[in-house]
Amino acid sequence: MKIAFIGLGIMGRPMAKNLLSAGHELVVVARRDEVRAEFEGLGATAAATPREAAEQADLVVTMLPNSPEVREVALGANGVASATREGLVLIDASSIDPLVTREIAAALAHQGMVMLDAPVSGGEPGAIAGTLSFMVGGPEETFDTYKPVLQSMGSSVVRVGDVGAGNIAKLANQAIVAVNIAVVAEALVLAQKLGVDPAAVVQAIQGGLAGSNVMNAKGPMMLDHRFDPGFRVALHLKDLTNVLTASHEVAAPMPLTAAVFELMTQLKAHGHESEDHSALLRVYERAAGTHLGETSAT
């Protein structure tokens, strides 16, 4: 299948490479010359605009930072909707406001195009390994047709409802991940302050009920103070803004999520917004006056 891929950032680049590895032809839109050259070297074709890419493709996949970027790529002056390709499908893997997803899908429908929203969980490691989890919203027939494409980039591909439902599932996912990361950091700092090796605590509990994929992925990063971004604090703040906006619209209280939003805002205030969200540990260390790995008295 010939696929236009738009959004070759920290997640999009490995996702696009996995599509190439699966045998798909790729047309890419890349703002940076070095990224364009990299993909041309891998056999992809470069296009100057989303419209130009869409006119050459059977499917468009986008992986962009937020709602305004997706709206511009889909509906802007040189966007996907301006391509003369009735029946074209857009799969948006970005994490955006579900109401914006539905707005874009309705506009594309007027052009005879179909949209699936398919945000992902798994971060950069999952994107590289091709083990992302896709939460998909949109028509079931379209989902069934393009599910194999998503399976080239992920190990779990689940349709959760009509268009917009994928991003609603992602809101729930991001709230759960945020609170989980925060409580892992909180517990490790507690162990440190009580004089027990946090690494030993992780080893002792990760096989029990308290164990989780978050602990397995983020615990080692916290223990090593290694906060290279798999998922940046700034992006998680964006997602939690969407979570809390949606929760306020439907009067669904989310006090734990709101508390973690404020903790991440502290990270941003101290210049850590480009680090991995596991850097939440820094907030707890600062508050407790400790540092994982230091010797603490009981």
Quick one: 111 and 129 in the same domain? yes
Domain boundary among 100, 129, 162: 162
**Which percentage of the chain shows pLDDT scores above 70?**
99
Quick one: 226 and 137 in the same domain? no
Quick one: 7 and 124 in the same domain? yes
> What token pair was written down for 232?
């940046």
Residue at 120: amino acid letter: V
Q: Which of 2, 17, 170, 218 is catalytic?
A: 170
Q: Is residue 295 part of a domain?
A: no
Quick one: 194 and 208 in the same domain? yes
Confidence class for position 295, pLDDT limits 50, 70, 90? low
Q: Is residue 296 part of a domain?
A: no
Contacts of 189 (CB under 8 A, 6+ apart): 198, 281, 284, 285, 288, 290, 292
**Which percentage of the chain shows pLDDT scores above 90?**
93
pLDDT greater than 90 at residue 297 = no
Quick one: 148 and 178 in the same domain? no
CATH code of residue 184:
1.10.1040.10
Q: pTM to 2 decimals?
A: 0.88
Q: What is the pLDDT of residues 45-94, one digit of tens each?
A: 999 999 999 999 999 999 999 999 999 999 999 999 999 788 999 999 99
Q: Is residue 293 part of a domain?
A: no
170 belongs to the catalytic site: yes
Quick one: 28 and 145 in the same domain? yes
User: How much is the pLDDT for 84?
Assistant: 75
Q: What is the pLDDT of residues 23-38, one digit of tens each?
A: 999 999 998 999 999 9
Q: Is residue 60 part of a domain?
A: yes
Helices (H), the chain: 12-21, 33-41, 50-55, 67-75, 98-110, 123-129, 140-151, 165-193, 198-205, 213-224, 233-249, 255-269, 280-288
Q: Please tell me the total count of domains within the chain.
A: 2
Per the structure, the complete domain to which residue 135 belongs is given by 2-162
